Structure 1
Amino acid sequence: MSSLLGQRRYDLSQKYSSEALELLNDMRKMGQLCDAELVLVDGALKVHRAILSSCSPYFRALFTTTLRPAPMNDRGDRWVTNIQGITKEFMEVLVDYAYTRRAAINAENVQDAMVAADMFCMIGLLNATVDFMRDHIEPENSIDVHRFADAIGIPELKFYSLKYLLQNFMEIRKTASFNNLSVDELIELLKHDMLNVSKEEDAWDSIVQWINVDCENRKKCIIQILPALRAGLITSQFFMEKIKSSPFVKEYDNECKPVIIAALKFIYDLDLNKNPEQDPNDVYITRARAPHEIMFAMGGWSGGSPTNLVECYDCRADRWIRTSVGDRSGPRAYHGLATLNGLIYTIGGFDGISYFNTCRAFDPSTRSWLEISPMQTRRCYVSVISVKGHLYAMGGYDGESRQARQATVERYSPRKNQWRFVAPMNSQRSDGSSCIMDDKIYMVGGFNGQECLQSAEIYDPVADTWEFIQPMRNRRSGVGACALNGCIYAIGGFNGVARMLSGEKYNPATNQWTAIKDMLNPRSNYAIQLLDNKIFAVGGFNGVTTIVNVECYDEKSNDWEECASMSLFRSALSACVVGNIPNIGSFIERPSIDAYVPKSLQGAVLKEEDSLMVIEPPRDTEDDNDTEQGHLADIDSDVDMEEVL
């Protein structure tokens, strides 16, 4: 019989282990077969020594020690031990965790739970309390959380709280807790490379704010605080008018004079470029703050061929760094790029010979590439965006027909490692650009095979529907789109006649487009990204040649300013912005800034949302929102493809 039926193995360990622990917990509560008793400040709890020992090295050592006789109760059937400073109600939480691996953690008990978990070496519970506090840090409580973490010496929580303080410094400045910082705490923040201020003048304003809270008692602290300021990053005009002339500095002129003189000398030398070979990062007062996010520019078209070069932009130092992490599977241009769960996805594209449906993912934390499932359609000139845990690849050109473009849209699920068609756009378009606002996708411009497009449309991922919105003021192919402060920006591109300097923004509330300030350089087929609340335009084609120029748009001033140029002239590139990289220093040639990451967290993706998606083989099942069939279109070449060919 057994040979006919064969053999099957069922893994029921998880189910029955859980049931066994629940049963043991019930027995504990009824006092059955308990062999230990914990005496607390307000009562006692009966437990099973083996269960507590299994999750706590502390209890294991306590219950198995041979250094002293076992303390027993009067009947001699139960080990008795005194636990100081813990109530019966709270110990019940710890014991429940030991039996069920579940704990009721809330804002009221999390600090006590963390202290107790650390005391009893309950690592799983300790990690859960750290995660709870990390996820509930806010500007108002961040300083108190950091003080608590420092007091109990949990390195992971201390790192997360310090990271939050540094990254959200400008928001925390607005809270009452900031005004109550000690001078040493303020100096600790000001000295840190990762302090997130867009300009050093903001750091000075924070110092003035803190002193003015209690001017009479704090003004003398300027002697301690001033050396923490990176004066070499401040404009000479601001330094002379605001810092050197500050009443605090003047009152303690003799004590502050050495710092002021040294700073003025460095500013003077920098203005005259006296030491061009000296690296500003070698000197504290001129060392740029480290960015919390960096922009990756990947691939593109340069010198008549595609490239796989990856450059990283440090917005604090205003410089580009060439990296060695280019995709070894080959170069690609006219591709899409998006970030999701800590990975950078490069989608589709063209290498001068082949049109790709292949997709690759780059993990910055390990500096490694991996292959993911290919799209169902080849797409170059594709627009890619991430929203609600999925990637969307929209439109493009597949290299087949010369008179059409793609209207189809595919959605990628990282959990399934699978692409599926969703509702197509209302217009066939390649070389369009998309952005996300309020969890909806806006697609603007492009080329349909006959003409450059003026139309724009919006996609609702929940309803799986596309809807036209008000057309742009100009036709734009090779355009860049970006969402900023409730508006959609469409900038540059090709109108069928020339590359464009102009830009415009769409306000959904009024359903109207309005003009913005022109760029400094005309460009199409460039990369566009939002970084540090500014819109960056990177590289592109100006109608004559590929360009290396980079510029950024400040919405507040409605103006563009020149930024550091890339090291390589290129168009048809893509860019994305990534934050929370534990080894961010390795990408900007400043490895020392990674040293404050605890060893237990090095090599891990730091939470934004603290984990990488597991890439699994494709599955046959579909999400409820997936459509069963796609809508394919025959495609042609794009406006700039003629130049490529």
Structure 2
Amino acid sequence: MAGHIENFYDDVEGPEEESFYRPHRHVPSPPTSLTERDRPYLTHRPDRHTAEAFAKLSEMRSKNKLCDVVVKAGDLTLNAHRVVLAACSPYFNAMFSGGMKESQQGIVNFQSVHPKAIEALVDFCYLATVTVTMDNVQELLPASSLLQMHGVVDACCTFLASQLHPSNCLGIRQFSQVHSCSELWKKCCMFMQQRFPEIALHEEFLELSFQDLCIILSDGNLNVRGEEQVYEAGLTWIKHHLDDRKRLIADLLRCIRMPLMSATYLSREVHSESLVMDNFAGRGLLLEAMDHHLRKHYMRDSTNPQATLSTTPRHCPGLEYLFAIGGSGPPVSENNPFLDLCECYDVDKDEWRQVAPMNARRSGLRVASVGGYLFAIGGFSAVDTKALTMVDRYDPMTDSWRLVSPMNCARRSFGVATLNSCIYAIGGITCGTYHDSVEKYCPRSNRWTFVQPMGVERRAVCAASLEGYVYAAGGHDGEGLLDTVERYDPQRDTWTVVTNLSSPCCLGSLVALNGKLYAVGGYDGANVLQSLECYDPSSNEWESMAPLPIQRSGFSSAVVDGHLYLVGGCNNLSKVSTVDKYDPETNKWSPVAGIGVRRSGLGVGVAPAFLF
């Protein structure tokens, strides 16, 4: 044992110094003569030496002492030291050491560079300080780029990125492209994608060339609520200089994904627009879009044609925010634990912030995201804990809530899935009655309609959609917990049974991610679970994955940027505020910032955060 302990200390701290711990051993006496390496020494490295030296050089420059070069730009004349300029600028270094005429003449004359920019850059060589403002950045950035002073270029780009606004984004984007500032250009493009509806209202957008306009309107990453916004922006551009631009209407419409507009909008707004109807090609594009809706909705076309660019919705990556809504937590007032709280999570900043609360406190609700809106559905209220039919819609653009059409059946402990821009409310319980019923909500018509019920009643069921199907897993049928999984086909309006879960459970979560389903946590009748199972529809099999960091039930989950997030819930008998993130590529979990209030029975959804 002693040997093991000694080995442990050797491994962790390194072997002991024998001369210190074992004094009985002979210690050789110091040599009579010291080698050069053994002589005492001290290294003096003052922190301010470089700054003080350059400050003295700047003072000498101001008094024209030992200066050996003159820098001229317009009416500006500056004395300087070649060695200082060459040390700070590769441009000057090449000029003075490469045999150029300026190295012999002692005068450097800049013909097309702004004098103030040259003055600021020469000062920077001595003082290591430059101030970037909106008044000088357009001259300072190209001048610093010419002199290859990359640190100043980066400072200019950082400043311009911090000043991005819908009114100037397109101008800064063009400026960055002219001067080959690739990182700034990328930031401008991302800003333009994220804030397109606002940018389209400003003069810079209306004065774009047609070529630049087409590039922007063809961008598949525009952050828009619907294709109607893109159409209206293009139409506004045309009408800004109507006589010169009206001939371009058909080419402009080809940049817009017209089949993605609603049939009502096409028939009412586009069909009544004379610019479109007076153009032969424009009328043809409108008819193609209407034909798409006719085949899809009215002719019950059962075929599944390959998606084209014009029928592929736009998606703005990196702009999806996670929203945690409602639930029950510690009593906040009058011993009432029910919450109207709505929090929004910024993935990049790893922080939560509060947004507008719901119209009423409730728990056990479910949240679905469709068309850039969040729908808070059902649950039970703080008044009498009875199941609710109510549905609230949250608009991230205006940070506001409004009531929409209620469900046909009051539900709590139910499942929710979205498919083809519709919401499915599945199972649940009302006043002791377990439900097998399923109803579908169409946001465009604002109507709920019943579809084929499940094969079994399910309370506390998990639901998700994947590859054109809706799945319902686990739950409780009034007799006991279930491990069965059903799949709904909306084309045939039928449910079929697929492979069971590994064990019965309820109060967990079912999430679609990367073409697979993940069944997460829950309760098995005896214990809160820590399990994660993955279902592959191609093999019709479940596989165990990395367990959750903690046991969880009564939580909610969603996918943001290819990662699965678990929010709140209960760890055994204790409510938690923790949030865990799962990476399917590495099969690993990691913690992120927690919600502000520990709670369970909350709903979680994902939507573009237009406000932030």
* TM-score normalised by structure 1 residue count: 0.51
The corresponding residue for 1:26 is 59
Instruction: Find 1:500's aligned residue among 366, 372, 388.
Output: 388
Contact persistence 1:431–1:638 (CA under 8 A): no
Count of residue pairs the alignment pairs up: 408
The corresponding residue for 1:130 is 157
The corresponding residue for 1:121 is 148
Q: Summarize the Cα distance change of 1:574–1:32 in structure 2 as closer, same or farther, 3 Å threshold.
A: farther
Q: Summarize the Cα distance change of 1:260–1:638 in structure 2 as closer, same or farther, 3 Å threshold.
A: closer
Aligned residue type for 1:220:
R
Contact persistence 1:435–1:481 (CA under 8 A): no
The corresponding residue for 2:458 is none
Query: Are residues 1:201 and 2:89 paired?
Result: no
* Cα distance in 2 for residues equivalent to 1:226 and 1:174: 19
The corresponding residue for 2:580 is none
Q: Secondary structure at the match of 1:193?
A: coil
Q: CA deviation at 1:145?
A: 2.4
Q: Summarize the Cα distance change of 1:40–1:291 in structure 2 as closer, same or farther, 3 Å threshold.
A: closer
Deviations 1:454-481 (A, max 9, x none): xxxxxxxxxxxxxxxxxx976x444689
The corresponding residue for 2:69 is 36
Contact persistence 2:326–2:363 (CA under 8 A): no
Q: CA deviation at 1:520?
A: 6.8
Contact persistence 1:520–1:560 (CA under 8 A): yes
Contact persistence 1:433–1:443 (CA under 8 A): no
The corresponding residue for 1:107 is 134
Q: Secondary structure at the match of 2:93?
A: helix
Contact persistence 1:37–1:80 (CA under 8 A): yes
Structure 1 residue runs without a partner (length 5+): 1-5, 74-78, 298-336, 339-380, 384-394, 397-405, 408-424, 446-471, 483-488, 507-512, 529-533, 579-583, 589-614, 616-634, 641-645
Deviations 1:357-407 (A, max 9, x none): xxxxxxxxxxxxxxxxxxxxxxxx998xxxxxxxxxxx96xxxxxxxxx68
* Cα distance in 1 for residues equivalent to 2:334 and 2:43: 54
Aligned residue type for 1:72:
Q
**Identity percentage of aligned residues:** 23
Q: Summarize the Cα distance change of 1:34–1:587 in structure 2 as closer, same or farther, 3 Å threshold.
A: farther
Deviations 1:149-184 (A, max 9, x none): 333332233333333333222222322333323222
Instruction: Find 2:263's aligned residue among 236, 241, 246.
Output: 236
Query: Are residues 1:71 and 2:103 paired?
Result: yes
Query: Are residues 1:290 and 2:178 paired?
Result: no
* Cα distance in 1 for residues equivalent to 2:376 and 2:261: 33
Task: Compute the RMSD of aligned alpha carbons.
Answer: 5.2
Aligned residue type for 1:38:
V
Q: CA deviation at 1:93?
A: 0.9
The corresponding residue for 1:434 is 341
Contact persistence 2:97–2:103 (CA under 8 A): no
Contact persistence 2:439–2:448 (CA under 8 A): no
Contact persistence 1:433–1:478 (CA under 8 A): no
Larger relative contact order, structure 1 or 2 (CA cutoff 8 Å, min sep 6): 1
Q: CA deviation at 1:27?
A: 3.1
* Cα distance in 2 for residues equivalent to 1:560 and 1:29: 80
Q: Summarize the Cα distance change of 1:40–1:69 in structure 2 as closer, same or farther, 3 Å threshold.
A: closer
Contact persistence 2:391–2:407 (CA under 8 A): yes
* TM-score normalised by structure 2 residue count: 0.53
Aligned residue type for 2:388:
M
Contact persistence 2:238–2:245 (CA under 8 A): yes
Q: Secondary structure at the match of 2:217?
A: helix
The corresponding residue for 1:46 is 79
Contact persistence 1:493–1:523 (CA under 8 A): yes
Q: Summarize the Cα distance change of 1:639–1:12 in structure 2 as closer, same or farther, 3 Å threshold.
A: same
Contact persistence 2:377–2:391 (CA under 8 A): yes
The corresponding residue for 2:124 is 97
Q: Secondary structure at the match of 1:228?
A: coil
Contact persistence 2:144–2:152 (CA under 8 A): yes
Aligned residue type for 1:141:
N
* Cα distance in 2 for residues equivalent to 1:64 and 1:517: 78
Contact persistence 1:444–1:481 (CA under 8 A): no
Q: Secondary structure at the match of 1:72?
A: helix
Structure 2 residue runs without a partner (length 5+): 1-39, 345-351, 369-374, 395-400, 451-462, 473-507, 510-553, 565-590, 592-597, 603-612
Q: Summarize the Cα distance change of 1:428–1:99 in structure 2 as closer, same or farther, 3 Å threshold.
A: farther
Aligned residue type for 1:129:
C
The corresponding residue for 1:270 is 296
Contact persistence 1:549–1:566 (CA under 8 A): no
* Cα distance in 1 for residues equivalent to 2:188 and 2:343: 30
Map of 1:322-361 to 2, 5 A cutoff? none
Q: Summarize the Cα distance change of 1:538–1:274 in structure 2 as closer, same or farther, 3 Å threshold.
A: closer
Map of 1:57-456 to 2, 5 A cutoff? 57-66=90-99, 68=100, 71-73=103-105, 79-253=106-280, 255-256=281-282, 259-260=285-286, 262-271=288-297, 272=299, 274=301, 276-280=303-307, 283-292=308-317, 295=320, 432=339, 434-435=341-342
Q: CA deviation at 1:208?
A: 2.4
Q: CA deviation at 1:192?
A: 0.8
Q: Secondary structure at the match of 1:194?
A: coil
Q: CA deviation at 1:199?
A: 1.0
Deviations 1:265-303 (A, max 9, x none): 4444433464754442xx121121113556578xxxxxx
Q: Summarize the Cα distance change of 1:295–1:174 in structure 2 as closer, same or farther, 3 Å threshold.
A: closer
Q: CA deviation at 1:118?
A: 1.7
Q: Secondary structure at the match of 2:104?
A: coil
Q: CA deviation at 1:109?
A: 0.8
